[in-house]
Amino acid sequence: MSSPSDLPDLPEAPSAIDLYASGGKGSLRYVFLHGNHAPTNHPEADIEGKVILFNRQGEIVFEENPGRPSAQYHFVHGSCVTVDDQPCPYLPARMFVETLLRNVSIPALVVVEVPKDEANLSPESDDFLYMSLLALGRSDLDPIPMADRTYLEQMSQGFVPPFVMAMARKSDSFLPGDARNLSHEIADSIMTTAAEQSGLPAFLDLYEKRYVHQAHLSPGDILESCLLHILKMPFELNSSIRYRLVSC
C-alpha cells in the first residue's frame, strides 16, 4: 500500500461533518451495487471490465466496447495504457476509473456521480453524469462463476439505467445516513417509471433468488431491500484515499 508521500496531489477530503451536511455534491461520490473495496498493488495487470457513462435520463453517452459485455483494461504502474490491446486516449473520469478498477473486489459493480469537468465531455452536457464501473476479472485471479457474471450483466442492463435516472432526481437532497427513506423514495420512482421491457423484472427475480429469504414480497419490496443495501454506505473518492480504502 502506498505511503502518504506516494499519494497523488488531490484536493483536501471534506470532513465528516462537511460531507454529511452537503452530501458530497460536486465530488466523486459512489456506491457499490455489488462487491466492495479491495486494495491491491500489482505493477502490471489485465482487468476485465466495462465503463459506461450515462446522462441524468439514464441514456448512454459513452460506452467502452459497445455491443460487447466487457473489455480488457491493461494497467502498468497504476495507469490504463490499452483497452483491448488498443491505445486508451480517453476514459471518463480517468483518475477514478484507474483507481477504482484496481481497488475493488472481483467481481464488483460501482455507480459514481461524475461532475461534467471530470467527464471531459462537451460544454452542452449535463452538469453531472453517472458512470457504471463493472469489474469481472483480473489476470492474477481465477475466473468468476458464470452465475455471478450473469447476475452482474443483468444488473448492469436492467437495474443501472433506472437507478441512475432516479438517483439524479434525488441527488441535490441526498444526505448520507438517510438510506432508509431514500431507498423507499427511489424504489417508488423506479417502479413508477421503469418499463416492463427494461429488464428490471428479470433482475429483481435474480436478486430475490440470490439474496431474499422471505416469502411473498412484492417487486417493490424486493427493490427497496436491494436499494437499502446499496445506499447505506456511500463513498467519496478523496475520503476513500485518505482512509486507505483504496491504494494509489
- State the Cα–Cα distance between residues 230 and 35, nearest whole angstrom: 10
Mean pLDDT across 113-120: 82
User: For the chain, what is the mean pLDDT?
Assistant: 85
Indicate whether 7 belongs to any domain.
Answer: no
Q: For position 78, which CATH number holds?
A: 3.10.50.40
Indicate whether 120 belongs to any domain.
Answer: yes
- State the Cα–Cα distance between residues 197 and 209, nearest whole angstrom: 20
What pLDDT sits at residue 161?
Answer: 95
What pLDDT sits at residue 193?
Answer: 85
Residue 196's pLDDT band, with cuts at 50, 70 and 90, is low
Indicate whether 209 belongs to any domain.
Answer: yes
* Greater pLDDT, 54 or 234: 54
Mean pLDDT across 20-41: 78
* Greater pLDDT, 39 or 97: 97
Indicate whether 9 belongs to any domain.
Answer: no
Grid cell in block for residue 169: 432526481
Mean pLDDT across 187-204: 86
| Structural domain boundaries, residue 175 | 16-242
Indicate whether 10 belongs to any domain.
Answer: no
What pLDDT sits at residue 175?
Answer: 67
Indicate whether 48 belongs to any domain.
Answer: yes
Residue 194's pLDDT band, with cuts at 50, 70 and 90, is confident
Of 65-79, 118-132, 140-154, 231-245, least confident by mean pLDDT is 118-132
Grid cell in block for residue 107: 467481481
Q: Has residue 37 got a pLDDT over 80?
A: yes
Indicate whether 113 belongs to any domain.
Answer: yes
Indicate whether 1 belongs to any domain.
Answer: no
- State the Cα–Cα distance between residues 99 and 226, nearest whole angstrom: 26
Number of domains in the chain: 1
Tens-place pLDDT, residues 94-111: 999 999 999 999 999 999
